[in-house]
Amino acid sequence: MTIEIAFPAGQARLELDDLLYEKADGIATITLNRPHRMNALTPAMMANALEALDDAANDESVRVVVLTGAGRTFCGGADLSALRGNSEASVVERLKADVTVPPSLVRAIRALDKPVIGAINGAAVGGGCDLALVCDLRIVSEDAKFGEVYAKIGLVPGAGAAYLLPRLVGLAKACELILTGDVIDARTAERIGLANQLVSREEFPGAVQTMARKLADGPPIALSLAKQLIYRSLSGDFDDSLALSRVYTAMTLTTQDHQEGLKAFKEKRPPEFRGS
């Protein structure tokens, strides 16, 4: 089921099929909402996540997106009940059903011109790990676990992990995690560079809110261009990155946010960036 996002008057929270979507004070929060099934992915959940991301992209009041899971799990990956059967016909049906993360969803997260925080509140395995990897930042609870477990059920990573994981943790560790399908705990994730912050269960909501608030209060144009510069630089050489940074610097020099930043620095006060 694909929906058009339409918030009722005076409300900033929607309960969709297998998904919650909220907007408040510049922060959009997308919550995978099947806690009774470890937030296992369904076609409805992923279609609604795409719609929510599209809404956040087009809403100028939204400056940062938080992706998290309801309950004590981030995302347990595909709903394995939809993967039963091994006939040729069932393989076709499984591909049509989009029970793994579709490329369109991870592309939408990567292409979003606003920061995306993965609030990893618990296990992120299979497709759930893929979703965590594609976020720009990951705030990780002590309860979190990560696993590219595809090999354990005779599959390969299906939603960008082979591209993303080596760039986050290095080639050797990425090969180990993908080829063994091993699940790692939160402390290991922090040690190998997968987690930006590791916090206790009690501190987790506050840490996510603090980071989201910091980014939402930042200069939207500069942050958008900086995100583009980082990811475009991954596929180019050093000179390409330098050239692109000059273009983006010229663009930000003309913004009112740049002038506000200079003025606030001179006046020794926090800047009030407006995205212009």
Give the residue, 47 or 78, on which the prediction is more confident. Answer: 47
pLDDT attached to residue 11: 53
To the question of pTM greater than 0.75 for the whole model, the response is yes
pLDDT attached to residue 96: 47
Pick from 49-58, 91-100, 108-117, 256-265: least confident: 91-100
pLDDT attached to residue 44: 86
The tens digit of pLDDT for each residue in 111-131 reads 999 999 999 999 999 999 999
Residue 10 has pLDDT above 80, yes or no: no
Domain limits, the chain: 13-216, 220-267
Q: Which residues pair with 186 in a beta bridge?
A: none
Pick from 12-26, 211-225, 251-265: least confident: 12-26
Note the residue count of the chain.
276
pLDDT attached to residue 2: 37
pLDDT attached to residue 157: 87
Mean local confidence (pLDDT), 18-23: 92
Mean local confidence (pLDDT), 43-63: 92
Amino acid at 257: D
Question: Could you tell me what percent of the chain has a pLDDT over 70?
Answer: 88
13-216 is classed in which CATH architecture?
Answer: Alpha-Beta Complex (3.90)
Residue 111: C-alpha distances to residues 106, 115, 194 (Å): 8, 10, 20
pLDDT category at 49 given cuts 50, 70, 90 is very high
Residue 13 has pLDDT above 90, yes or no: no
Contact between residue 37 and residue 70 where contact means Cβ atoms under 8 Å apart: no
Mean local confidence (pLDDT), 178-202: 95
Mean local confidence (pLDDT), 94-107: 68
pLDDT attached to residue 77: 85
pLDDT attached to residue 1: 34
Question: Could you tell me what percent of the chain has a pLDDT over 90?
Answer: 72
CATH match of 220-267 with 2.60.40 = no
pLDDT attached to residue 93: 56
pLDDT category at 15 given cuts 50, 70, 90 is confident
Tokens of 18: 């297998």
Mean per-residue pLDDT over the chain, rounded? 88
Residue 222 has pLDDT above 80, yes or no: yes
pLDDT attached to residue 6: 56
Q: Which residues of 82-116 are buried (b: 16+ CB within 10 A; e: fewer)?
A: bbeeeeeeeeeebeeebbbbbeebbebbbebebbb
